[in-house]
Structure 1
């Protein structure tokens, strides 16, 4: 370790200690596997001070990560109560279904799934506090087949990051926000050219779908769309661009990962068959 003043800082937690650790806005039980004081030369990001390599209880090892001390708190009654309060707060943020005509708004469906997005990787004993697993399994499934060309890009992306340690340069020149806006403008112009410039219900649906994709991306990127090697980069880039959404920093590579996860995420919504078919149709169209 570098012999700087940061290495003299006291470690408030020790190896093998059971703690509570922030991951997103919630607290999770975790075990400290390593405890180190970092100097300026001990990390590529330049982060210094006490850091802990943690394993989240019930999560796969792929979620193990280095975290700064400010994300770790003692495993005691007070913090367990805090954990419960945070969880209850998120549980109460369920949104009512909003409809445009007879179409369910995926924007509000995206917001209502914010809690589930932070729970990925945990062993699920039940779907949520209000529904039985049988009801969940009977819900309508949304299928989003990826074109072969995009599957190849998805695999190449995975190999570059996980095997070659080749992280993407951020911010991307062509961001998710740019992609969504371009798609929406294309659809708007296409509709306008065939509808005598009159506003169409289809225009509203396209806007709604695009907004829903954006919300899902912004909410889920930091929790389920990153590979382990990208997490520190995410922490660093968020510090640099506090005024920007994730969709204004990341690009097509991470957006493609979202479409792999969307069927699972949308399974937690309450859309009827008509809304499900409409959404599926528009998501497939977006990937063309």
Structure 2
């Protein structure tokens, strides 16, 4: 074992290095694995990692960590500069113009997701309300996503994906009632459900994805967080887009909504 329990080290997370503390050490298939805690971060990010992802904490490696972070911040500054030179408008699930969707995001919404958002809004404008307990729940959807990816991931990557799944579900539960319903839907019984992740439909999840950047805005101010979340979010968007296409969701979208109120005309009394 090159590192010992309790030792302060530097550990890679994606392309950046972070100070970490080794909590536990074990062997798997004659290779050492280290359970680490990133110093200054929540226990949520504690994970198992391989020896190849860890460096000794010495002057040379600390300089390497600082240089990688500086390069990341410079890349972020350049990207922000590019955005400021072009006309950008913030994404909202209330938008209907495709030109306005997918702007100011660190990731891009697939076209078929944008189409669903537009049809979603039109149905609500017609008096429909989104329904719960239709099709797979958000928890089932995220579990299917993680399971599909886990086959090609190592133990460390699987651990990160599990943490990502838990984080997405926690965010969804918190923001659902306040941010993922149109004003006309808030009196509908879907607004006060006890467990959004277990009862909401893919329509609510697509609304959630469309606002994910604004939900994570403060978190994304740190370039290290952007780097950490960029790949799993892009993967989730791509996977969701594929499931939407496979299920022909755009054609079947009305099953996720209540029927619009019947419009009656008053007959003129003669």
Q: Same fold (TM over 0.5)?
A: no
TM range (shorter): 0.3 to 0.5
**Structure 1 length normalisation: TM-score?**
0.39
**Larger helix fraction of residues:** 2
Q: TM-score, normalised by structure 2?
A: 0.41
